[in-house]
Amino acid sequence: MAGNHFIHQADNSGLFISFSEDFSKLQSDLCQIAYIEGGCAVLSCCGKDFFVQSGTAVLRSPNTAPDMVYSHKLSAMSITFDPGLIRSKSLTVSGTAKNFSAGAPSLPPFLKPGEIKILSINPLYRTRVKELFMSVAVERSNRRGNMWKNRAADRLKQLFRLCFDVHPFHFDSPCSELARSTLEYIHDNCSREITVRLLCQVLHTNHTSLLQTFRKYTGTTIGQYILELRLYLVSNALMFTGKTIEEIAEECGFGHASYLSRVFRSRVGMAPGQFRNMVCGKLNTV
């Protein structure tokens, strides 16, 4: 499969923007950040296997080409870039400031040669991530003034900070605190039944405020977010554990295997058992 990959080429701007990323092989001096907008896929790379779906980011160092073991309605956008674009100033990730030295090209501080990282974007940041992707694309397309490349590099740095959850986002308003508390409750109680009414009672808020705030800060509905989270947990359990479908259904909040199978088939494109057999079979041959 890798032999058929198109090698992304960046022009003298050091940027390549794609709104239909297929994870082709990167040329030897370029890195990439990709954002999964919709659908799902199983990627095999660097000796690791990953299930990716909407809301995840893929960071790649040069010469990497993950094998697409399986995909279903996958939609992804990407920015392929020369690391030199972000070496001019320090970039803070994971709470640690790292400085890019001048001279020979080097990788960003969060990537190693031949490495691919899959990161789940904080739901509170996902709308902003898409905005930053579009902003970089606009800067590259227009190329207005002498500072457009610096502006594009600044947007890239903001993207990396969002991916590593250290961006100085403003959580001092009651609305943002409500969104954060909602997400924390959902993640802590994903195996249980969660309704909007229950969330209102637990978080001491009303129906309208809860729904409007959650959509504003995550770009999706509460029900849709819970479903995507549970499907993500199910897919990983199918790939990396030997638990039965019934056990997975109960642990991931679907209650019964029959209900899980209906939902999983409609979203992933096949029944849970088929997914496990097909994906695991292909992973063993990659």
Q: Are the C-beta atoms of residues 35 and 101 closer than 8 Å to each other?
A: no
pLDDT at 84: 84
**Band (97; pLDDT cuts 50, 70, 90):** very low
Lowest mean pLDDT among 58-62, 114-118, 163-167, 198-202: 163-167
Assigned CATH class of 174-283: mainly alpha
> How does pLDDT run across 67-89, given as a tens digit for each residue?
888 888 899 999 999 888 876 54
pLDDT at 128: 87
pLDDT at 26 over 70: yes
pLDDT at 284: 58
- Listed in sequence order, the residues at least 6 apart from 165 whose beta carbon sits closer than 8 Å to its beta carbon are 122, 125
Place of tokens 């239909």: 20
**Band (112; pLDDT cuts 50, 70, 90):** confident
The residue with greater pLDDT, 91 or 71, is 71
The residue with greater pLDDT, 95 or 272, is 272
Was domain 2-163 assigned CATH 2.60.120.280? yes
pLDDT at 283 over 80: no
pLDDT at 154 over 50: yes
* CB-based burial label for 116 (10 Å; 0-12, 13-18, 19+): buried
Report the pLDDT averaged over residues 91-116.
59
pLDDT at 28: 82
What average pLDDT does the chain have? 82
**Band (175; pLDDT cuts 50, 70, 90):** low
**Band (171; pLDDT cuts 50, 70, 90):** very low
pTM score: 0.76
Can you give the residue ranges of every domain in the chain? 2-163, 174-283
Distance CA 285, CA 210 (A): 47
pLDDT at 45: 82
